Amino acid sequence: MSTKLTPTRPAKVLVLGLVCAVFGLLLVGGARSAQAGKCPNLVIILDKSGSMTESPSGGSAPPGGSKWELAKAALKELLKSYDGQLPIGLALFASDSGCGAARLDIPPDYDTASKITMLIDSKQPDSSTPTSEAIIAISKEPVLHDASRQQYVLLLTDGAPNCASGEPTATVNAIKAANMQSPSITTFVLGFGSLPTSAANAMDDMAVAGGAPSVGTPRKFYTAEDLTTLKAALEKIFSVVLGEGMGLCDDSCYAPDVGCPTPGDVCIRGKCQQSPCAGITCGPGLYCYTDGVSPGRCIGACKKACQTGYRCEQGVCVPSACPSFCIAGYVCNAQSGRCEKDPLCPDNPPRREQCRVPSACQFGQCVDDPCKFVRCPSGSICVPWNGSCKFDPSSTLMPDMASSGEGIDGQNRQAGCAIGGAAAGPGFWLTSLLVFAGLLIARRRIRSHFQ
């Protein structure tokens, strides 16, 4: 006598399978929807008081060895690495040769390294140290009242404040007020050179008030005694500002809330520009190829599957140790015939070397998937991170679609199935697989009860 399944049992099993599928959908969907936030603003407030002409140990400095020259050298080197990673600005204090409050000489923005270099090269130390006046003036700047960003100040100075009455308490209170305002301004205090105990103690208080004291060091402020330790301190501060080990921030056109405002522009390596395939029309069976940087050109697709030991490369089957082109972050090992991790693309690179999604590391560089710019002829599909159009044996051949880059809006559109206006990327296919697996489990469990 066969076992009769109650009406509620298959429903429960089916629900269980669907729950697993939906959980997978939420898991993958959640991972894909986690987007980088806006990058923080950072204003460097640089001391140009007369004592900056001295050597870090005190006294007269040899040519190029003053605190001012060393500070310039350290900042220039650091900006080579971080320019373009976040909005950086500069304020020199004093703004005159006395106790004038600082001005925001260069507002925080991207690609400001050349402006900062030109400004500091044109100045010489010649003033007093109006630190509290500098903090108060900069904290009032509208750009540092943008609630959508975190706000940071890096105060690089070689001594205690000496302009306002009641110093150094006046500076401590000014830094604390900036930290308490909304949005909060976090201040890093970096003391350069040999300091008397009273000045060092004042900087300790300033660092605590700023909300970013140095951790695990004898002093609460960041210290530097020479060029090497100054560069190390600046590097550490910049890493903290960018949140080393946390998610990337992104103000580029890759960010979903930014994009490219000009119709027809595409986001290429984080910047809006016309696709190299724009305006190029290719003949039947051809398509316009570009990796976003190379000029657009018409090439053919592979019209048949390549035999073993070969793969499709821009319309031609070429010898290949690996069965297919390796995705970004991997290279083909000719001996094993497998795609292996690219040594030029480490798993946890320094923050400034990480690629912004959807770009990825390929051969040591952050690049876009060429499939983002390519529209393959019918009967072929784009090879990820290569841009070749290989034969698709599963396709139903139809009259050729437009085979040039013409008509592609460029906003993260690529060849293949489009889901809700977006390309069907790896997350979509993984989600589909999880949903299918959940339904398959439910089906098998239901059938087992009827046997």
CA–CA gap between residue 206 and residue 202 (Å, rounded)? 6
pLDDT value at residue 356: 87
**Bridge-based pairing state of the strands 271-274 and 265-268:** antiparallel
Question: Does residue 259 carry a pLDDT above 50?
Answer: yes
pLDDT digits (tens, 9 = 90+) for 7-63: 444 444 444 444 444 444 333 333 333 456 889 999 999 999 999 999 999 999 999
Q: Quickly count helices (H) and strands (E) in the chain.
A: 8, 20
Length of the chain: 451
Question: Does residue 274 carry a pLDDT above 80?
Answer: yes
Topology of 41-242 in CATH?
Answer: Rossmann fold (3.40.50)
Is residue 440 very low, low, confident or very high in pLDDT (cuts 50, 70, 90)?
low
Residue with token string 């396709």 = 395
Question: Does residue 432 carry a pLDDT above 90?
Answer: no
Secondary structure class of 255 (helix, strand, coil): coil
pLDDT value at residue 398: 41
pLDDT value at residue 434: 52
Any alpha helices (H) in 113-162, and if so which ranges? 113-121, 131-139
Q: Are 316 and 310 in contact (CB under 8 A)?
A: no
Domain ranges of the chain: 41-242, 265-410
**Bridge-based pairing state of the strands 185-192 and 222-224:** parallel
Strand partners, 288: 298
The predicted model scores a pTM of 0.71
pLDDT digits (tens, 9 = 90+) for 322-340: 999 999 999 999 999 999 9
Percent share of the chain, pLDDT over 90: 71
Residue 240 to residues 25, 42, 168, 212: CA-CA distances in angstroms?
34, 11, 26, 9
222-248 as b/e: b if 16+ CB within 10 A: bbbebbeebbebbbebbebbbeeeeeb
- Between 42-51, 138-147, 432-441, the lowest mean confidence (pLDDT) is in 432-441
Total Cβ atoms within 10 A of residue 6: 10
Q: Are 156 and 184 in contact (CB under 8 A)?
A: no
pLDDT value at residue 257: 82
pLDDT digits (tens, 9 = 90+) for 348-361: 887 778 888 899 99
Residue 370 to residues 75, 285, 288, 350: CA-CA distances in angstroms?
36, 18, 11, 25
- For residues 246 and 45, the model is more confident at 45
Q: What contacts 198, CB < 8 A, 6 or more positions away?
A: 160
Of 37, 434, 28, 71, residue with least CA distance to 250:
37
Percent share of the chain, pLDDT over 70: 79
Give the CA count within 13 Å in the CB-facing half-sphere of 38: 14
pLDDT digits (tens, 9 = 90+) for 104-141: 999 999 999 999 999 999 999 999 999 999 999 999 99
AA letter at 228? T
pLDDT digits (tens, 9 = 90+) for 183-218: 999 999 999 999 999 999 999 999 999 999 999 999
pLDDT value at residue 258: 87
Is residue 401 very low, low, confident or very high in pLDDT (cuts 50, 70, 90)?
very low
pLDDT digits (tens, 9 = 90+) for 285-311: 999 999 999 999 999 999 999 999 999
CA–CA gap between residue 155 and residue 360 (Å, rounded)? 35
Mean pLDDT across 392-402: 58
Is residue 72 very low, low, confident or very high in pLDDT (cuts 50, 70, 90)?
very high
Residue 152 phi, psi (nearest 5)? -135, 145
- DSSP assignment of 171-187, as one string? HHHHHHHHHHSSS-EEE
